[in-house]
Structure formats: C-alpha cells, structure tokens
Amino acid sequence: MTHQPVAIIELEVPLNAPTSRKPGPGKPKEEPGGDARAGSLPSEKSPGGKDPAGGRNVPALLKEVGTPDLVRPAPSPALQTPPGPQPEFPRPARQSRFRRRHFTVLLSFVLMVVAPAVVSAWYLWTRAADQYASNVGFSVRSEEQASAIDTLLGPLDLGGGSSAPDAEVLYQFIQSQDLVARIDAKLDLRALWSKPGPENDPVFSYHPPGTIEDLLRHWKRKARIHYDSGTGLIDLNVLAFDPEDAKAVAQEIFAESTAMINELSSIAREDAIGYARDELDKSVDRLKLARAAVTQFRNRTQIVDPTIDVQGQAGILNTLNQQLAEAMIEMDMLRETTRAGDPRISQADRKIRVIEARIADEKRKLGIRDGTSQDEVFAALVGEYEGLIVDREFAEQTYTAALAAYDSALAEAQRQTRYLAAHVRPTLAEKAEYPERVKIFGLITLFAFLIWAILVLAAYSLRDRN
C-alpha cells in the first residue's frame, strides 16, 4: 500500500471576517455590511464552481490535490521566522549498534572477572580443606619486690636494662627460624600441615619435605601473631587441619616462649652475680693488702699507733718545758739572793742544761730537727701511718659496698624477676572457621573487577586520545 503525498493548505482567515452561509441552491447572498475581499472565507458553492473573488472554490481545489489530513491556519506574522541566516542545529545521534569493541570488553569481563570468581568459588567450596584455629595470648611480667639489702642500702643498679622491651624480643623470637626448628623437631610440622595432601589442596597445604626456609614461610601463614606495643600483649592464632594439632602447636609456642624468657632472666642474673662477685674479690684483695701494709709498718717501727706515741711525746715535751721554766726561775732567784760561787748556783745550772738536752732530744723525736740528725722522727712515721690507714679505710668501704651488691644480686637470683603470664590459654576449636571462604571469594572478585575496570578505562582513554 502506497502513501499519497499530503498537502497542507494554509488559509489566512481574518479574525473579524464574516462567515457566509449557504442560503440555498441559488446564488449566494451577501451579508449586509460584508464585502467579498480576497481574505474573506468563500461559500461552499457558487455558480460555476467559482468563489466570489473569481477564483476556484475550496472543495474543487481539495479535490485536485487530494484530501488533506490536516488543515491548519497560517502562522501569525509575529511567529514567522525572520529573514536572514538560520542557526544550524546538530544532527541527531545515530542509533547505537553492537560493535566489535563491545564484544572485546564483554569477553575481557568474562575472562578477568567471571572466570576467576568461578574458579575461586569452585576451589574454596570443593577443594580447600577445613582449618581449625587455636588462640593463645600472653605478656611478659616482671617482679618488683625489693630485697632486705635494697631496703637497708637502697636499690643498686646491678645489671642494667635491655635496650628493647622483653615483649618485642619475644615477638621476634616467635617468628624466628630457631623456634620453627624446635617445634618441628617435637611435633613434625611438615606432616602436621600436609594432612589433606598437596594434590588435593595445593594452596593451603604444605608441600613436604621442603627446606627450613619453606617451612618458615608456611609458619607465617599458619601462626598469625599480633603484638600491641602499647600494652605489651601478644596474641597468637594458630591454624591446623585438626583442632588437636592446632592446640598442640599453640602450647609448644607458649612453652618455648616461657623457656626463652626464663633464659633471658637467668642470663641477666648470672651477669649481675658475676659482676658483683668480681667486684667483691677485688675489694677483698685490696683490703688484705692494706691491712698487710699496716701490719708491716707496726712490725718495722715497733709502734702500734704513732699518733698515740706522738701525743705522749708532746706531753713529755710540755712537762720538760715547764720544768725548764721552773729551773730557770730558781736560778735567777739564787743569783739575786746568794753570792757568786755558791754551789747551789752550779747545781741549778746543771739542772737547766739537763732539761734543755732532754727537750732537744724530745723535739728531735717529734720531728723538730737541728739539721744534723738523720734519725727517723715521729712526724714521718705519723705521715706514713696515716696514708696506710686511709688506704685501709677505703678498702674497707669498698669491701662493704661490694659485699652488699653481691648479697643483693644473690637475693635477686633467688626469685624469678621475669615470667610469661598467659591471659588466654591455648584453646581447642570445635568448628572449622578457616579458610574464610566468603571473605576470600569477595576479595578475589572485587580486585578482579577493579583491575578489569581500570584496564577498560585506560583502553578507552587511549582510544579517545587517538
């Protein structure tokens, strides 16, 4: 069926133009006051098929061009497009079609997102073996109780402190190859972590035999450690394919950590005791030498305490000086009251000379020399003795301090100053919570989608730039 072209005829109809009505089969009758202008609406029929203006009537014209679907009035002059260049409008967008690049994007989505998600879901829910977790938590504690020596003499710094807290040392020890080798020798970790078989679960199962480095890498996957440096708490999450195995590994970790902390305490105590013992031995030797020197001095001089003898000699010298003064006074009185040649005068003179000789001898003993005597005097003896006494007193004080330090070190060694306190004992799991299938599947799907989206956006960006 073919469509005929439709002609749209625009008629200008004045708003105030009178309408003519058909009076009958005769000639048309004009309304009074009306005129037959070109703009007036002609009647439907007129004699000869002509309108009053002499033109052809509307039905005849429509019969020639065909029946129109729409007859609309002419647009108002105010709405007509003004003359001049008309604005250009953009062409309408073409209908989108499925192109080859769309097929490439869809194929890449299937390969990079859907396929990894399906494969991971299949492996996690069909091949991955169930794993059980055993949790254990502990921290390093130290004893702060003071001993009797510390109470009397005050705290003594005997061993110094370590440069790092014990909890950090323990944190590194749990991740060390030494601990893995010790526990493997006791529990056979290779057999314990390969129970499902590498052929059934190659991702989560250990591949025996492997080297100690391979076992250490798998250890870090199965023994997850969390250390809080603020509180010093250490939490462990040990995984195994059997709940008893997981608990056994956790117990061995706790036991080995306790032994390591005790070993550190023992080494610190031995160092402190050894240092105190060395200092005590040195102080004893020094005290022995000082006392031997004093004894040798006394044997050589035959003087127990020169200071006491000096005090006695000083008393004798004072007494002689007093006697000399009295003898001189008596001599002067005799000279004034007696004649020359009186025998009492000569006797008093001899007394004075004897007293002076004794005073000179006593002064020489005390160290007041006349420049000719070479004998050893009390001043030199007293100086030597005082030096020996100072050395002996210093040796005694050193010995007292060293003995107190040694006793304090022994008291410190008799109690355990560091110990491992467990706030969570190794637990026995009743339900397999690992591997976290939903979490792993979600992460794999999310990262696969992000990688795919980034690659697609980069490809489209390069395409638009070119």
pLDDT of residue 218: 92
**Within 13 A of 77's CA, how many CA atoms are on the CB side?**
3
Report the share of the chain in percent with pLDDT over 70: 68
**Within 13 A of 269's CA, how many CA atoms are on the CB side?**
18
Report the share of the chain in percent with pLDDT over 90: 24
Average pLDDT in the 303-324 region? 74
pLDDT of residue 181: 92
Mean pLDDT for the chain overall: 75
pLDDT of residue 331: 81
Cα–Cα separations (whole angstroms), residue 151 to 44, 145, 155, 258, 380: 136, 10, 7, 30, 44
**Residue pLDDT, tens place only, 163-210:** 347 788 888 999 999 999 999 999 989 999 988 888 888 899 998 888
Distance CA 162, CA 464 (A): 64
pLDDT of residue 215: 92
With a CB cutoff of 8 Å and minimum separation 6, the contacts of 290 are 388, 391, 392, 394, 395, 396
* CB of 149 closer than 8 Å to CB of 407: yes
* CB of 40 closer than 8 Å to CB of 34: yes
What pTM does this model have?
0.54
| Token pair belonging to 390 | 């100072």
* CB of 287 closer than 8 Å to CB of 398: yes
pLDDT of residue 350: 83
DSSP, collapsed to helix, strand or coil, labels residue 167 as helix
Q: How many residues does the chain have?
A: 466
| Token pair belonging to 59 | 């039905």
* CB of 220 closer than 8 Å to CB of 214: no
At residue 385, φ and ψ (nearest 5 deg) are -65, -40
Enumerate the β-bridge partners of residue 135.
237
What letters, b where the CB count within 10 A reaches 16 and e where it falls short, cover 272-289? bbebbeebbeebeebbee
Distance CA 54, CA 402 (A): 147
Do the strands 418-424 and 132-142 form a parallel or antiparallel pair, or are they unpaired? antiparallel
* Edge-to-edge strands, sheet with 132-142: 223-228, 233-240, 132-142, 418-424
DSSP label at residue 435? S
Enumerate the β-bridge partners of residue 224.
237
| Whether residue 337 has pLDDT greater than 90 | no
pLDDT of residue 323: 82
Distance CA 125, CA 192 (A): 22
Tell me which of 365 and 188 has the higher pLDDT: 188
| Token pair belonging to 465 | 């730039």
**Residue pLDDT, tens place only, 69-124:** 444 555 555 545 556 566 666 666 566 566 777 888 899 999 999 999 999 999 99
Tell me which of 390 and 155 has the higher pLDDT: 390
Amino acid at 250: A
DSSP, collapsed to helix, strand or coil, labels residue 416 as coil
**Within 13 A of 3's CA, how many CA atoms are on the CB side?**
5
- Rounded to 10 degrees, what is the CA torsion of 390, 395, 400, 403? 180
Distance CA 375, CA 430 (A): 101
- Rounded to 10 degrees, what is the CA torsion of 430, 433, 434, 437? 150
Tell me which of 16 and 301 has the higher pLDDT: 301
One DSSP character per residue, 120-144 reads: HHHHHHHTPPPBEEEEEEEEEEE--
pLDDT of residue 324: 82
Tell me which of 300 and 20 has the higher pLDDT: 300
* CB of 245 closer than 8 Å to CB of 429: no
Distance CA 116, CA 182 (A): 39
* CB of 105 closer than 8 Å to CB of 456: yes
pLDDT band of 297, cuts 50, 70, 90: confident
Range in 124-128, 139-143, 420-424 with the lowest mean pLDDT: 139-143
Burial of 324 (0-12, 13-18, 19+ CB in 10 A): middle
**Residue pLDDT, tens place only, 6-41:** 444 444 444 444 444 444 444 444 444 444 343 434
| Whether residue 463 has pLDDT greater than 70 | yes
Burial of 16 (0-12, 13-18, 19+ CB in 10 A): exposed
H or E segment and range at residue 454: helix 437-465
